[in-house]
Every structure is written in C-alpha cells, then in structure tokens.
Amino acid sequence: MALLKTTKFISSVGSLTPSLAAIPIRANSWWTGVQMGPPDPILGVTEAFKRDSNSKKMNLGVGAYRDDSGKPYVLNCVRKAEALIASKMLDKEYLPIGGLGDFNKACAELALGPDSEVLQSKRSITVQTISGTGSLRVGANFLSRFHSVAKDVYLPKPSWGNHTPIFRDAGMQLKAYRYYDPATCGFDFTGALDDISQIPENSVIMLHACAHNPTGVDPRPEQWKELSAVIKKRKLLVFFDMAYQGFASGDIDRDAWAVRYFIEQGHNVLLSQSFAKNMGLYGERVGGFTVVCADAEEAKRVESQLKILIRPIYSNPPMNGARIASTILTTPELRSTWLEEVKGMADRIIKMREMLVTNLKKEGSTHNWQHVTDQIGMFCFTGLKPEQVERLTKEFSVYMTKDGRISVAGVTSGNVGYLAHAIHQVTK
C-alpha cells in the first residue's frame, strides 16, 4: 500500500467513493501516514490453503501439533487438570507480577532437574511469562537494560523468524553464527565452532535447547560439549530458547540435557520456556523466563528488576494456563499421564518422519532422505528448493513455507503416502 499523502487522500476520496464526498471533511486522519504492515508469510500459506478446494490438500505450515486425523489435540492430563481446578472454585484475584509461585517452581524444576544445585542454592529466578514470546521479550528487555557491556545477540543461522524483531525492538543488535548446512541438511559443526570462536567477549549467544526451529537440526551431545567449551572461552552470555522440552525426543530429561550440561559447566544462563507445544496449551500463553545468577542475593535483585520490566507491559500474567501446567507438573498421576502423552506426540512425529522416508524410497526416490529422520521436533528442513516448493503447492496442493520447511505435525498416516508421492514427483 502506497503511503497516502494528505492532499492526495482528500482529493481521491471524492473520485473513488462519491458517496463519501458528501461527508464533511473534518481534520485529516491522524493515520494518513501509517503504512500497511507486510502480510505475514506463514499466515499467507494458511490463507491459500483454506481457499484450496483440492480434497487431498495438506497444510504443512502449521506450527501446532495435530493428531493422526489431522485434528488439534487437547491432552487428557490437561482436561483432568481443568476439572480438578474447576472443582476448587478458586477466585480470580490478580497474580503477583512474577506470576503463580507454584508454576514458577515447577517450571524451573522441569528444566533444571529436581536435583539441580542452582535450585538448591536458590540462585535462580523464574518468572511466569506470556508463553515463549513473552519470555524472550522480557529477556530481551532485561538484557537491553542491564547487559550494558555488549549489545550484540548472536542467533543461529537460520533461527525462528520472530527472534530478530523481538531483540531488535528491545534495542539489541542482531548477528549470526553458522548453524545449518544446506549441503548436508544437517549441522554445520565446524562452521559454528569457527564463528563462535570469533564472537567478541560478553556478547549474548542464543541456543535452541532442542528441536531447532526451523531446521530440526540439533547438535549431538559431544558437539554440545565442544560448543560449551568454546562459548566459555569466549565468555559469552548464553540464552537458551527451549520451546519443545519433551516434545522433541519424547523424554523431558534428554531434551533438557544441553541446558543442564551448560549450567553444570558454569554458564549462568538465561532460559525461555514454552508450554504451548509440550502441553498443547498454545492459546493459554504459558511460559517462563529464568535467570541463573551468581547467588541468592543477586537472584533477588534480578527478580525485583524483572518485575519493574513486566509491570508496564501487562501488569501480571494470566492465571488459567499456568494453573493447568502447575497442576499437571505437581500432581503425580497427572504428571505421569503428561509424560506419556508428550512421548506419544513425539513418537507420532518420529513415526511420520520414518514413514515419509520409507514411502519416498517406495516411490523410487534415489535421493538421500536421511536428514528427515536425523532431524528432530516439529519441523523438518526438507532441502526442497523454492521452485520445487511452488510445484508442490500448485500441482499437489501441499502447502509449506518457501524455505522448504514442513511441519511434520501436519503429516498423518493417511496422507504421508500422498506427500511422498508429491515430493518424489518434484525432485526426481
């Protein structure tokens, strides 16, 4: 939309819409100079998908879990927790600025492990946030205000699309380190080490704890160990984004391994957690932001400042989702149900990856599709080129983002064969 100049706007009103010319022109609009915001690329995929009448159409842009019938999945432990909560007839009084205490405690324990030295010495602070985005935003604001030694945040290349604008708006500068290797559809380990070893001291480095978004490519444990050493040598401040704990491998401890290892190695990390995917609580906005500090006293100071940051954004966080998450995490039978269900979701994703590869081979594809099963989590960087993606959409009604990313959550046993067929057609 072109910027509308004041005079042009007034004169065009009469010619384009004669009836409006009858309305007396008051002062011009305040918003004449406001540009139309760019359309969201992923939303565009979903819009086009909705308009498509092909019965075989597939939406592989969606970043939310779907069951094997392609439907949203409300976890049983969530339903049970909701019933439990309802029976208590709780009031709706404001939460503290830092959120529900029980939730914060359980959230930290989930990430750090119940035997964490950090928790025992009370040298961390966890605040409830508006899911992962809210957590990153609070973190970015905190860094901008209190990490005066360096303004640079290093993101893996590529990273979640929203990381950049969040940190930029908070006043940080964005840089990148090599991460994804398009040649192998895998981890560019040497490139990452090389880049990281040159990052200026005190800079912030963002790491995806597991199930890297958008590539699905995670470092192996031995690789994490080397990364930790280099990062320590460079004296970088580590910011973990963990949006898929439990959802990646099906094992919450395994998925949190990198975070716990880094902490053991002495990194006092920042950590964002989301319960959108692993508890299916997307719209309830459940998340946490943690700062691991030098000691309990510092944690108290940091906590006080986080509250000062949060209050002018939204005062205090929403109760519903945090209460559900907290109930699940702290009620033994609900917790074990949850662990089974999150494993169930992870297993289904893993199975779909395997079936996709099997079906591609059955189709006769001679390409190496190992990365599909090597990668982990909701997303898969297929390696497909933009032209191939376009053909997939136009000829087969398979919708995905131009970078070749698919959401494996959108794949079912019912449509995996069709998907394999389509991919083979555009890549053979």
What part of residues 320-359 is at the interface with other proteins (CB under 8 A)?
320-321
Candidates 246-254, 282-290, 339-347, 384-392: pick the segment binding other proteins (CB under 8 A): 282-290
CB of 154 to other proteins, least distance (A): 16
**Is 91 annotated in the active site?**
no
List the structure tokens of 166: 């969040």
**Identity of the residue, 52 or 82, whose beta carbon is nearer to other proteins in the bound complex:** 82
Q: What is the DSSP letter of 81?
A: H
**Identity of the residue, 75 or 372, whose beta carbon is nearer to other proteins in the bound complex:** 75
Which residues does residue 195 pair with via DSSP β-bridges, in sequence order? none
Catalytic residue among 188, 218, 241, 255: 241
Q: Mapping DSSP to helix (H, G, I), strand (E, B) and coil, where does residue 120 land? A: helix
Which residues does residue 228 pair with via DSSP β-bridges, in sequence order? none
Residue 217 near residue 248, CB atoms below 8 Å: no
Binders in 120-139 for other proteins, by CB under 8 A: 130-134, 137
**Identity of the residue, 280 or 404, whose beta carbon is nearer to other proteins in the bound complex:** 280
Handedness of CA 409, 414, 417, 418 (dihedral sign): negative
Residue 201 buriedness (CB in 10 A; 0-12 / 13-18 / 19+) = exposed
CB of 141 to other proteins, least distance (A): 8
Among 55, 94, 114, 115, binds other proteins (CB under 8 A): 94
Residue 59 near residue 29, CB atoms below 8 Å: no
* 293 lines the binding site for other proteins (CB under 8 A): yes
Among 14, 41, 44, 96, binds other proteins (CB under 8 A): 96
* 86 lines the binding site for other proteins (CB under 8 A): yes
Q: What gap in Å lies between CA 330 and CA 319, rounded to an integer? A: 16
Q: Say which residues have a Cβ less than 8 Å from residue 71's Cβ, sequence separation at least 6.
A: none
Among 114, 312, 332, 364, binds other proteins (CB under 8 A): 312
CB of 156 to other proteins, least distance (A): 19
* 315 lines the binding site for other proteins (CB under 8 A): yes
Binders in 258-277 for other proteins, by CB under 8 A: 268, 276
Handedness of CA 307, 310, 311, 317 (dihedral sign): negative
List the structure tokens of 280: 């299916």
Residue type, 262: F
Binders in 12-41 for other proteins, by CB under 8 A: 20, 26-37
**Identity of the residue, 25 or 229, whose beta carbon is nearer to other proteins in the bound complex:** 25
* 305 lines the binding site for other proteins (CB under 8 A): yes
Residue 107 buriedness (CB in 10 A; 0-12 / 13-18 / 19+) = buried
Q: State the number of binding residues for other proteins (CB under 8 A).
A: 75
**Identity of the residue, 236 or 426, whose beta carbon is nearer to other proteins in the bound complex:** 236
Dihedral angle at the C-alpha atoms of 28, 31, 33, 35, nearest 10 degrees? -150
Residue 204 near residue 166, CB atoms below 8 Å: no
Among 52, 109, 298, 374, binds other proteins (CB under 8 A): 298
Strands (E) across 158-285 are located at 173-178, 180-181, 186-187, 204-208, 237-242, 270-274
**Is 160 annotated in the active site?**
yes
Q: What mask of x and - would describe binding to other proteins in positions 217 to 256, judged by CB under 8 A?
A: --------------------x-------------------
Catalytic residue among 57, 80, 160, 224: 160
Among 318, 344, 383, 417, binds other proteins (CB under 8 A): 318
CB of 256 to other proteins, least distance (A): 23
Q: Say which residues have a Cβ less than 8 Å from residue 356's Cβ, sequence separation at least 6.
A: 369, 372, 408, 411, 416, 419, 420
Among 60, 78, 81, 153, binds other proteins (CB under 8 A): 78
Among 184, 265, 316, 425, binds other proteins (CB under 8 A): 316
Report phi then psi at 239, rounded to 5.
-120, 110
Residue 380 near residue 360, CB atoms below 8 Å: no
* 203 lines the binding site for other proteins (CB under 8 A): no
For tokens 């005190």, name the residue. Answer: 202
**Is 241 annotated in the active site?**
yes
Catalytic residue among 57, 188, 224, 277: 277
Q: How many CB atoms lie within 10 A of CB 40?
A: 11
* 165 lines the binding site for other proteins (CB under 8 A): yes
The residues annotated with a catalytic role in the active site are: 160, 241, 277
